[in-house]
Amino acid sequence: MPGRLLGALLLILVLGLEQGSSSVLNDVGRFEGDTHTIAELNDLDMELEQDSVPADVCKKIKDEFKAVEKKSMAEAKREKPNSLQKGIKVVAFQILQHGKSSIADESKVRRTLQNEACVNRAIGDICKKSSVLNLLGIAASGEERISICREKVLQCLKHRPLGSVECPDKSKEEARFRTIDGTCNNVRRPLFGAAHTPFRRVQPADYEDKVSSPRVAESGDKLPNARNVSRFVHARNANRKNPDSPTLTHLAMNWGQFMDHDVTLAEEQECDCETLNSTEPECFNVKVPSDDDVFQRRDVTFFQVIRDAPHGFIAECSPGPREHTNTITAFIDASNVYGSSEEEAEHLRTPDGRMRIMKTRHGCPLGDLLPAQTDPEIPCVSRDPNRPCFIAGDERVNENQGLMSVHTLFVREHNRIAEFFGKNTDWEAEQIYQETRRIVGAELQVITYNEFLPLLLSPRTIRKNNLALLKGSRYFNGYNSGVNAQVSQAFSAAAFRFGHSLVQEEFLRFTQEGFEHKCSKDSEYTPIPVLDFGNPTYLYDKCNGGVDAIFRGLVKSPAAKVDGRFSSSVQENLFRGPGDLSDLIAINIQRGRERGVPSYTTYRNTFCKITPKVNNFEDLKNAGIGEKDINNLKSQYQSVQDIDLFVGALNASISLLLIQPANDVEVQPGPGQAQRANGLRICQWNVQRLTDSKLEEIRSLLTLPGNEHDRLDILILSETFCTQKVPDSFFNTDGYQLHRKDRMGKSGGGILVFVNNSLQAKRRGDLEAEDLDLLWLEVCPYKSRRSLFIGGVYRPPSFRVADDKRLGKNVENVHLLNKEIILLGDINIDFLCTIKLQKHPFIKMLQNLNMSQLVMEITRPLSKTCLDHIWSSHPERLINERLLSTGMSDHLPTIVTRTYKGVQQNKTEHTTITYRDIKNLNKEQFIAALKEAPWDSVFIFDDPYDVVDAWFQSGLRKFHSTETALIRLVDQLLFDLDKNKALGIVFIDYKMAFDLIDHGMFLENLKAYGHSTVDIYADDTTLSLSSDVTNGLTAMSSALQQDLGDVSRWSAANKMVTNAAKTKCLLVTGKRMLCKLDNCSLELKPANSDIEQVDGQKLLGVTIDKHLSFNVHGVEELCKKLSQRIAVLRKIRRFIPIEQRRLYYNAMIKQVMLYGSTI
């Protein structure tokens, strides 16, 4: 799985998808009043690079503004009259891509443009005054002085009234449902996330005049032509074919588009931009360069770009930079299914609570389709009245056939659920509709956060930004009304547009059996060209499977790889209407500029705070951008500070295996990375079939120019599937020698090793076994005279015990040569599953050789397992680097550096915090120990409760107790007895264990977990081992004795003493198995003293016997104890109040009666 496709860009993405409250109230209409300001809708903690202006200075600036405001407004009205442009019609592509309702009323736009002109004039007049310049303390000269002044003046005048909305009181049941337009979802701030509110900014707007003119270069010149940037920086692949993503399907592209249409839709405006040199300032067309043969030969000389409509504020001459309106709700609430206004919602639903559909008339089981578009003013690509375009909650539903199919799926889902409610409840139609809408919105959230985002973001980023949904029946209780759910400008205009790189040239279609055949047996389903934008007729195509065939194609066919390149369908053949061909990538770049989105370096350095910062073109290497792409950027941009956010972030996202990428948010150098130049860098990676495209990318990465310490010395590829038919020359790579072990027939995976020519290495075929996927090298590290063995291994999941023993024996034979060993490979044993590890023969053999495993995090995100291991006989000499995503395999590469000198902090395998005497705790030592703790073994879990669950810990946990610990043990006992296995159990007792602990700390913790008072708490520790004992108890006794030794050593290190007299052992066999054993003695000896073996032992208040009969802990004992306590209750009932009697009953009778009943 790709772990970090977009790094810094995707942080903006995920911050743009903040979920709001699910407790909402109904719509009450348009906004009036002035209780909200633009500052409230933007992030309150938005960091400004410029110095803030003192409050007393701002007060004087406001007075200056008021003095010129009326005069400026009068001049603005003369400059920009309020009359409409004559003869202007909405451009076809605006309706096709955005619909009619998202196009702003022209009179409102003109009034807003007047306001902007007023602000520009007023600020210009203010900044001409020397008194104001001196007041602001501006020391610069010329144009720079005026620019700084405008910036500082706007800081003082940024509070702009937006309006308000009143949230009426509603019942609890009515408040269950979100309003259709998103208002009052946040009752304290009703406009947060609502439709028709401005996009928020996480960085100050970057306009040339600080108000509305599109961004320019840092020097003041125009930015490079957007089409040239698209051509030369995002040039198409040499073979004009995008490589496939190995992990993302084409549905990932369409799901991203579908979700984008749930949260963002910028308001557009009508404008005459049909000539290249239009005098209308709201035109921002892209000129096609004269040497651009792709478009010039088709007589396309420019791409029409109309600036998004400015957001209309209430007050005249409202100071501040131009903002833009999001016309739909910013919440993931399925507004793309239901609409963002009451009018839309009513038009799409039926009186019985279902959604409107269209039944096909073709006599073919195509299923229900979306309702037909019947508005004659809205153009449709289809001219067939029997195959009309569709309508849905979002106006862009007809953009492509994949998107139409996803829309169709969720309308069908609504009707499926609504039909269930209609048959099984007595609800009215309104309740059926609202409850179903609520469920569908939740489905979109779960799919997005549980399935979509984990494909794009690393587990670290998801964990750090709290993007993982809670598991099980737990509910989120961290709602914060101060969080603005509105989508950011950067997300809308740049970040989420990364999905355009996922677009393939065509949509494939499949039958239910997965074949691409048509009506006849031999012919195939015809693919749908992506460049056939807006054509709905394919969904009516009964002979090619309709919606179902398209959807199967989305699931079965791969998306294009995110590599900074784009398919011709979006870069060269974007069809936006009759006679309108354009480049979507150039339009993306132009859109960011006209909306004042700051540069890539501004977001990277200031917002994302990624270190090291990028201050020049050479620094881009730290962002994971290759030399070729840096040169392309240099050819277009004057300064690195000019690079557009979309361009820079997408280039930085290209998969780089060898360089620590700086595009992951707040990446800091890992432990020991500063020493990388002083070591041997080794990488192991399961490539899952080495294809031409994978080899080409691996080769380019191996030969990447730059710092030599960023280069790999040894690259081990496993599961290559290479055979002898492929010559060595096919793999030749400059600067590297090749070693290979091909797969054997149809078995094995195949191993390929690239070794840097400057390294002394030789193949040790004499140590290898022909039937094992294991290749050994003897390597002499730099600056070292002593060689070591490096092994590349692939262990198939089909290995049996005998195979594991042969593999382990091979490693043991190498170990006997008395040299350092590093074994790397895909072992197919999950190192995060402690239960499997304890029993696995191959792992035990490696551990018996005193080898340690260094990788402690997920290496295969698809299954959330750690299958790729690095085993070393000298782990103190190795630095394990962070796993990196490549996007070419669902395994992550593991990288390790073997240093010239041992790393001091790794001399021991783990640092364990053992401070038990809280009263005498040394704070500094405790903090230091925390820093050295093996946190990777904790961070692999999404939920902290899963951590202690994996460690069989029940104490101090919600919903866990001594009883749940007993249930776990007894269930395991019964399970093993059913499998004819016996269990050896050791009940360990410690002397004065609780004297070392501050009891107050325990009492406070237990109180926090729901206990009002605590008098006693058990410290029982139990070892258990199940085994087949038909051949005797020797193996079981030996294993338990070894574990006892580990416990003794840990106890001694923690100053705890085991009480040998009270430590007992028990053999649980059941009556049936007992008769088959000749000897039932375990013969365990801790610290040179025998452990007494008993027939039954009390554990946590319950007696467990060897037959698991629970006779000792039976009815007679309970009855005797209860009888005594009830008698006491009868005697005291006359003397104490009822409350105390109830307390006595709950503490002394009820708990005895119920405890252990579940067992």
Q: Which segments are annotated as binding site for heme b?
A: 500
Instruction: Write b or e for each residue in 1070-1080: b if 16 or more Cβ atoms lie within 10 A of its Cβ, otherwise e.
Output: beebeeeeeee
Which residues belong to the annotated binding site? 500
Both tokens assigned to 28: 């009450």
What DSSP string runs through 744-811? BTTB---EEEEEETTSEEEE-GGG--TTS-EEEEEEE-TT-SS-EEEEEEE--TT--HHHHHHHHHHH
Contact 248, 559 (CB under 8 A): yes
- Give the C-alpha separation, 855 to 830, whole Å: 11
Q: How far apart, in Å, are the Cα atoms of 1025 and each of 837, 1063, 1100, 1103?
A: 14, 16, 19, 19
HEC states along 993-1009?
HHHHCCHHHHHHHHHHC
**1103 near 1097, Cβ under 8 Å?**
yes
Cα 807 from Cα 802, distance rounded (Å) = 9
Q: Are 233 and 631 in contact (CB under 8 A)?
A: no
Where is 825: in which H helix or E strand? strand 820-826
Contact 367, 546 (CB under 8 A): yes
Q: How far apart are CA 1057 and CA 988, in angstroms?
A: 11
| Locus of tokens 């038919």 | 725
In the numeric block, which tokens belong to residue 224?
């490079």
Which DSSP symbol is given to 1146? Answer: I
H-run or E-run covering 1116? helix 1115-1132
Question: Cα(229)–Cα(225) distance, rounded to whole angstroms?
Answer: 6
Rg of the chain, C-alpha, whole Å: 35
CB atoms within 10 A of CB 76: 21
Place of tokens 């009309």: 388
**CA neighbours within 13 Å on the CB side: how many for 855?**
32
d(CA 433, CA 241): 46
What does the alpha-carbon distance between residue 826 and residue 834 come to, in Å, rounded to a whole number? 18
Write out the two tokens for 952: 């069989």
User: Which residue, among 173, 127, 180, 175, has the nearest Cα to 149 in the 3D structure?
Assistant: 127
Centre a 10 Å sphere on the Cβ of residue 904 and count the other Cβ atoms it contains.
7
Retrieve residue 964's tokens: 């749940």
DSSP-assigned letters across all residues of 1060-1078: TTT-EEEEE-HHHHHTT-S
How many C-beta atoms lie closer than 10 Å to residue 377's C-beta? 7
- Tokens 């290898």 label which residue? 768
CA–CA distance, 414 with 354 (Å, rounded to integer) = 7
Determine if the peptide bond prior to 612 is cis (ω within 30°).
Answer: yes
